[in-house]
A and B are shown apart, each in its own frame.
Chain A
Amino acid sequence: MIRDYFKVLTINLTSGQSSIIEVQGRNEVAGGSGLAAHLFAKYGQMNKPWDDPEQPLIFTIGPLTGYFPLMSKTVCAYKSPYHDQYAESHAGGRSALALRFADLDAVVITGKASKPVCISLGSRRIEIKEVHYLWGMDVYATGKYIRHMFRGSGHRSILRIGPAGEHGSPMACINADTYRHFGRLGGGAVMGMKNLKGISIRGDATFLLPENKDYPKLFEEVHKQLTDTDMMSKYHDLGTPINVIPLNKLKALPVRNLQQTSDPNIAGISGEKFAEVALLRNNACAGCPVGCIHIGFVRERFAEENRYLYRQVAYDHEPIFATGSMLGVLNCFKVLDIIDVVERMGLDVMSGGVALAWATEALEKGIVSEKETIIPLKFGDADGYKEAMIHLAMGTNEFYQTLSKGTMVAAERYNGKDFACVLGQEMAGYATGETFFTSQALGFRHSHLDSSGYSYDQKTEEKNAPKAADFLVKDEQGRVFLTSMLACLFARGVYNDELLGKCLNSVGYADLAGSISDVSRHIQKLRWRTRFATGFDPKSVSIPKRFTEIVTWKGAIDAEYLQTLKDEYSKRIIELGADNDKKAE
């Protein structure tokens, strides 16, 4: 163990002051998700809006970060511009190991800089640098400049925002190391509000390992398990886009704003097609030998003579669904073209794609006109969507400003709620049925990764709401401990509680190892309590009509069961958030 408490760097951008503080609670909140909620209780302003300069932007890692393979993610927590409630977003890349080797368990950024700044930090440095000249630059250019401004190539992480974050869009992401993102719920706008353009984290510390043979031996076992299993080969081979064809066959792939759940021409954006014609290479998060990051290429002829430029664009199932099937764009290179624009602008790709899908149908239905959309949005028209993504990021007119606050905000304003594909936030790329819709609509992060509702839909025909709600609660509890360690959820099949206990023991966290069940339950409740304290009301969540109009391999969605399950899961969440477990506060 490096320490039995949390070493936290706090930076106040208003005053320019920073400090290192010791925070207790390792055996109660572990790290990652638990630590983030713990720190939000300390620094967050529950009743003040997200853009109050006092609100913290929190980054945390876990007790196993760097010690074992795939312990490679970072949690980012903040009061979200999307719903003005407590939120988490997770990213891979290098930030987890960079923070570990910067010798920090967490960074808490409060205040607001008077001019645009970048923060550079490491185990022996903290610098706040004025960078007004970077304001307005896209994500790629910003990354290139920050790379030159601060040292540490290869052993650092560069987090930055693009124009969407600068404009305060609740759909703005924080780009992590070019190909990964703290994507959802508007973390980019939180940085923008603070006039914080980028953060460079240099990992330049070293730690002595435990003087026993258990740790290297266990590492070997874990490494073997993670790299030998079929599950990991899925991520190593085609990556997450392997899901496109099976979901299409199941009639569970959102297509054209969920007007359809499959398309006969889906092969054009399948994982197989991307791998065959567009895959350039792979990349990995630091500390992960799986390397699931798939990077495609697009080339553009920019002159009549044969003059080309090329760009490298990472792809996954979710971006492909959001800018491909959801927008009716079924050509892999055109999908990469749209993702490329989204990346530059610093938008969350899932939110952006689903928002434009709604706008397209709204235009079709005549509830908005080209006066609002500027572009004659049409399913399949990739060039139009590229331009529209820029309008969405820049907030060009009132329509795009409203849309960037959330598809449902625009749907309410323009009277198109029935076909807004929103489940707490813009939907993820699974139309598997009642359990998934409930899971995302009510889940803590409104993410497909809060719990595996989409998998439950595929494994059971039973319509038993208490049983399904039990599953969602239990699954979330397991995942919240993983995201407190802080593991990539792709490794969830290997890192069960027994193995996590062994891992924690081997590096000196025996108390934590012996209380995983209690601690995970505590963190789960702590997160929900924090969410409730910032205004969440599960009863106010509605699932738009469009989700009840679709047909999957199971047949039509059962609207009555969907409502029953939503009510049941809401009840469980309210119980979880009840103020009856405060041992760590």
Chain B
Amino acid sequence: MKMLTTPRMERCIGCHSCSLACARLVHKRLSWDTAGIRIRTSGGLSTGFEARTCLACNPAPCAKACPTGAYSQRKGGGVIVRKKLCIRCGECAKACPVDAIYLDPTGEPFVCIHCGRCVPYCPHDCLEMEEVAVETAAGEKEEEVQS
């Protein structure tokens, strides 16, 4: 199981290519908000950039906070999201300790699914998919559901 990491954010130039790629390829939107990774300054453009993205908590507080089962624990860390079950309550975003979940104006949550499709768009190699050890039962399959 792989997870998205941001080990070299000091190199970030603030082009937002990662966010735009996630919105475009994963969520089929033109946006820098509805994305699993979002870039902001640390406190103005002279201070460099930070990434807001899922740290793949295990156990994930957002999954625990979700009242409908729309969020469930992803093996190795992070969450699997079944948006059909989501009632837009926003509890997931409230529970996230690092502000990684974006709620759009309708309350729809957007969180990283650790697919790595943003990684090749970063011109400075800030992002990396990292292998994490997962204890899986024989024959069990991971599922990533977005809608």
Binding site for B on A (CB under 8 A): 66-67, 69, 97, 100-101, 124, 143-144, 147, 153-155, 177-179, 203-209, 211, 216, 219, 223, 227, 236, 281-291, 293, 312
Contact = CB atoms under 8 A, between A and B. Distances in A.
Interface of B: 13-17, 20, 23-25, 28-34, 38-41, 43-46, 48-49, 104-105, 121-124
Contacts of A219: 24
B17 A101 contact: no
Contacts, number: 94
A176 to B, nearest CB: 11
Given A97-B16, A206-B23, A289-B121, A154 B39 contact: yes
A155 B30 contact: no
B123 to A, nearest CB: 4
B47 to A, nearest CB: 9
Given A206-B104, A209-B29, A154 B13 contact: no
14 contacts: A206-B31, A206-B104, A208-B28, A209-B28, A216-B24, A236-B123, A281-B13, A282-B13, A283-B14, A286-B16, A289-B15, A290-B15, A291-B13, A291-B123
Given A155-B33, A209-B24, A227-B123, A285 B45 contact: no
Contacts of B38: 154-155
B44 A147 contact: yes
A154 to B, nearest CB: 3
A3 to B, nearest CB: 13
B106 to A, nearest CB: 10
B121 A154 contact: no
B32 A203 contact: yes
A497 to B, nearest CB: 23
Contacts of A208: 28-30
B21 to A, nearest CB: 9
A403 B14 CA distance: 37
Contacts of A286: 14-16, 32
Given A205-B31, A208-B29, A283-B45, 12 more contacts: A67-B30, A154-B49, A155-B32, A155-B33, A177-B45, A178-B46, A179-B45, A206-B31, A206-B104, A207-B29, A284-B14, A286-B15
Query: What are the 4 tightest A-B residue pairs by CB atom distance, in nearest-first order?
Result: A154-B40, A284-B15, A206-B31, A291-B13
A361 to B, nearest CB: 36
Contacts of A289: 15, 17, 121-123
A153 B45 CA distance: 10
